[in-house]
Structure 1
Amino acid sequence: MPKTIGRVETANSSKYLQQLCKHFAHKITVEHDTHSGRAEFSLGTATLKADDDVLTVEFDLNSAEDTAMAHRVIDSHLEKFAFREQITGLDWSTPAAG
């Protein structure tokens, strides 16, 4: 299963995790607390983690072709919630398969 991981440094990681999860829960299955979350998208499962100063999203994708869409979904919503910090998205990486 292809994977993509995004990170952004922010003191508001827990706040943004909760906002993202609450927003996505209107349309998809989501479980979350103040420091972790899981969202079941049609293109795969996103696992969110909030540390003191970093928000991390790990996306297990159904297909590598969905990578760009996964990035857009998370980044576009985070940009709206984090506008005061001028965060425009996560720093994404794709781990080597194996």
Structure 2
Amino acid sequence: MSVYESYVSCANPSRLMTRLCRHWGYKLTVELSESCGSVEFPAGRCKFIVEQGLLQVSLEMPEDNQVRMQQVVAEHLQRMAGEETLTIEWRASLE
């Protein structure tokens, strides 16, 4: 499994994480608290940590699924952000 991260600057990271976790919660296993969340996908996991003005997104997947899942997560984050334009840049984690 490889891990990629993105630090997404946004006006309300907690709201963004909550909206996305609830959206995926209809079909996937989701854990959600005030400051963190996670979504279990068939091939891996996406974790969220709320920081001041940032949403840390960590995607743990097999390498062959990474690119597609990065696109899926980025598209869903942008959709949940509404009018706010997000910059989502993935980089390999040092873990």
Report if TM-score (shorter chain) is over 0.5: yes
- Which residue does the alignment assign to 1:64? 63
Q: Which runs of 5+ in 1 are unaligned?
A: none
CA RMSD of aligned residues (A): 1.5
> What's the TM-score once normalised by structure 1's chain length?
0.88
> Is the contact made by 2:45 and 2:60 (CA closer than 8 Å) also made in structure 1?
yes
Q: Which runs of 5+ in 2 are unaligned?
A: none
Q: Distance in 1 between matches of 2:58 and 2:7?
A: 9
> Is the contact made by 2:59 and 2:70 (CA closer than 8 Å) also made in structure 1?
no
- The share of aligned pairs that are identical, in percent, is 25
- Matched to 1:90, the amino acid is I
Give the secondary-structure state (helix, strand or coil) at the position aligned to 2:93.
coil
Alignment size in residue pairs: 95
Q: Distance in 2 between matches of 1:34 and 1:72?
A: 25
- Matched to 1:92, the amino acid is W
- Which residue does the alignment assign to 1:10? 10
- Per the TM alignment, residue 34 of structure 1 is displaced from its structure 2 partner at its CA by 2.0
Runs of 4+ in 1 over 6 A off after TM superposition: none
